[in-house]
Structure 1
Amino acid sequence: MKELDVKQENERKKEYLDGYRKCVRQLDRLNEELSEIRINKMFPSLIQDGMPHAHTTTDLSGYAARIDKIERKIVKARYQKINKLKNIRDRIERMSDENEKDVLFYRYIKGMKWEEIAVKMMYTYRNVTKIHGRALKNFQI
């Protein structure tokens, strides 16, 4: 039963650490959506969904409202991303082992793959995953 508790705790820690990358992806999606709306307004004939579209470009109120709504979401998402980064970084910095800090930082803040972390730290893939296991054990939420 103890091993199951450790696994659940580690999954909870991974979920917490993944929070920053999720915020980054959400912000990227919102920025892409904003770009698409702007492009579709500037070049309405480029909308390639197969449906007929009116070619009226006189009413900008709906467009402005959509832009404003997404821009507000972007501001909120940026704020959440900054807060999440600060919280995770602070918790990582409280750890005593530098290798564990590095692995958690590269994996969860930089979003690097295990192989990239191994090359950067000049360790084997296996050693990096061992360090990650220890880091999760020592990480405090």
Structure 2
Amino acid sequence: MNKKEYLKQGYKLKQEIKSLEQTLEELESNLDNVKAIQYSKDKLEGGPLQDDTNIIEKIDKIIEVENLIKDRLLELKTFQANLILEILKLKNSNEKNLLQARYVMNLTWEEISKKLNYSVMHIHRIHKKALENFETL
């Protein structure tokens, strides 16, 4: 794995988390169709009890996806913490700021350009130099 691929791991984890969150939303919306038994003072309404295996399976899947999201979030936070420590080892403050903006905050080149007050072309030059100076743990 080269330096750029290593640095992009956080972005990939964020994308995976976003996808899992969308899956979770979809699974939760499927539970909206569940019919409840209605009680009244005089009688029980709703007919014969239905098999709840399908509902239990859906709830189990939701819990599984929620746990996956928690695991990925922990993995992302750990990666970002280690990455920040590695970035802080750089001597040049522009290189530090650029790598943090790009690989921790996931800003676009244009956003970084505005933040650091340099042209996008110059940001790419700083990035190239930062990659040369960057050392992983």
What is the TM-score normalised by the length of structure 1?
A: 0.78
- Closer, same or farther: CA 57–85 of 1 in aligned 2, 3 Å: farther
Q: Deviations over 1:8-50 (max 9, x none)?
A: xxx7111111011111111111111111101122047xxxxxx
- Determine if the alignment matches structure 1 residue 35 to structure 2 residue 30: no
In the alignment, what sits opposite 1:73? Answer: 68
CA distance in 1, matches of 2:6, 2:91: 19
In the alignment, what sits opposite 1:107? Answer: 102
How many residues were matched structurally? Answer: 120
SS in 1 for 2:8: helix
Q: Deviations over 1:63-90 (max 9, x none)?
A: 1211111111111111111111111111
Q: Following superposition of structure 1 onto structure 2, how do residues 110-125 of structure 1 map, counting pairs within 5 Å? A: 110-125=105-120
- Amino acid paired to 1:100: E
Quote the sequence identity (%).
28
Root-mean-square deviation (Å): 1.7
In the alignment, what sits opposite 1:62? Answer: 57
Structure 2 unpaired stretches of 5+: 35-49
CA distance in 1, matches of 2:110, 2:70: 34
CA distance in 1, matches of 2:112, 2:59: 44
Structure 1 unpaired stretches of 5+: 1-10, 45-55
The alpha-carbon deviation at position 122 of structure 1 amounts to: 0.8
Q: Which has the higher helix share?
A: 1
